[in-house]
């Protein structure tokens, strides 16, 4: 996801300091750098825009992976103790139909991680956000038998909480970041990602970040209607025109 990572390496720096300069040296460009992505790609473009605000001119983030870890698929990683079970002992949903009807729980999602060698979605979060164990493997967010959340791991994950990063560093970020971001999401997101977007939206309004947030009917997949895509691309076109008119 182009974030510098203890496990994956310096992907963000490699993209911005090596690949992009080489592309612009080799090919004719006008140096306008616009980002867009959906789901994990939506998280990626938010990360790049917020952490390299001088490099990129604007981003449209669509249905991003959790952008505020106080609502990591409706788990508050800073306060909740268990990722499998809610406080009433009910199983937490990881995937839903229309944001309401669970079809897979967090417990089952983590069980799936052990079917294929290094895992799937949840282990990919560990690979990006976690520190290393002594054996070189990513430290796990939770005990995958009991669901108990590891507070030591969460402390390292804080570095990848985009909402926390922006509101903590806004004074330094504002001159290069204000107004450069659009985030859109479906109100019935299958993976409950709209809740973290809403938290991020609330925090950005508090600091007058000038970001655009838009909510649409639909889930993680059906949200991508012609109207949804047109609005996103119009935002990027507007930013492109602003660059050319400077």
What digits encode the pLDDT tens for the residues 161-183?
A: 999 999 999 999 999 999 999 99
CB 195 within 8 A of CB 226: no
**Average pLDDT score over residue span 61-80:** 98
Q: Are strands 101-105 and 34-38 parallel, antiparallel or unpaired?
A: unpaired
The tokens for 210 are: 């000038």
Quickly count: other Cβ atoms within 10 Å of residue 35's Cβ: 24
Of the candidates 182, 176, 157, 148, the one whose C-alpha atom is nearest the C-alpha of residue 80 is 148
pLDDT band with cut points at 50, 70 and 90 for residue 197: very high
pTM for the whole structure: 0.96
pLDDT band with cut points at 50, 70 and 90 for residue 244: confident
Residues forming a β-bridge with 101: 97
**Checking phi first, is residue 201 left (phi over 0); if not, alpha (psi -120 to 50) or beta?**
alpha
Calpha distance 159→38 (Å, rounded) = 22
At how many degrees (to 10) do helices 170-177 and 40-51 cross?
100
Quickly count: other Cβ atoms within 10 Å of residue 199's Cβ: 17
**How far is CA 186 from its chain centroid?**
15
Residues forming a β-bridge with 37: 61
Calpha distance 200→119 (Å, rounded) = 28
Q: Kindly tell me if the per-residue pLDDT of 242 is higher than 80.
A: yes
- What are the strands of the beta sheet with 181-186, ordered from one edge? 34-38, 58-62, 181-186, 212-216
């Amino acid at each position: 996801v182009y974030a510098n990572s203890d496990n994956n390496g310096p992907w963000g720096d490699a993209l911005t300091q090596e690949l992009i300069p080489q592309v612009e040296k080799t090919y004719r460009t006008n140096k306008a750098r616009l980002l867009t992505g959906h789901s994990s790609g939506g998280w990626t473009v938010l990360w790049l825009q917020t952490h390299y605000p001088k490099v990129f001119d604007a981003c449209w983030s669509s249905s991003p992976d959790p952008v505020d870890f106080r609502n990591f698929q409706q788990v508050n990683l800073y306060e909740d103790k268990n990722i499998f079970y809610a406080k009433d002992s009910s199983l937490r949903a990881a995937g839903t139909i229309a944001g309401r009807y669970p079809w897979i729980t967090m417990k089952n999602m983590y069980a799936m991680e052990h079917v294929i060698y290094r895992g799937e979605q949840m282990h990919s979060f560990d690979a990006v956000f976690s520190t290393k164990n002594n054996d070189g493997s990513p430290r796990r967010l939770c005990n995958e038998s009991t669901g108990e959340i590891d507070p030591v791991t969460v402390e390292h994950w804080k570095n990848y909480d985009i909402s926390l990063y922006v509101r903590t560093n806004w004074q330094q970020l504002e001159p290069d970041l204000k107004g450069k971001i659009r985030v859109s999401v479906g109100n019935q997101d299958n993976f409950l990602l709209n809740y973290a977007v809403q938290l991020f939206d609330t925090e950005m309004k508090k600091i007058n970040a000038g970001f655009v947030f838009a909510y649409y009917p639909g889930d993680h997949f059906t949200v991508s209607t012609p109207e949804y895509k047109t609005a996103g691309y119009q935002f990027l076109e507007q930013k492109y025109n602003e660059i050319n008119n400077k």
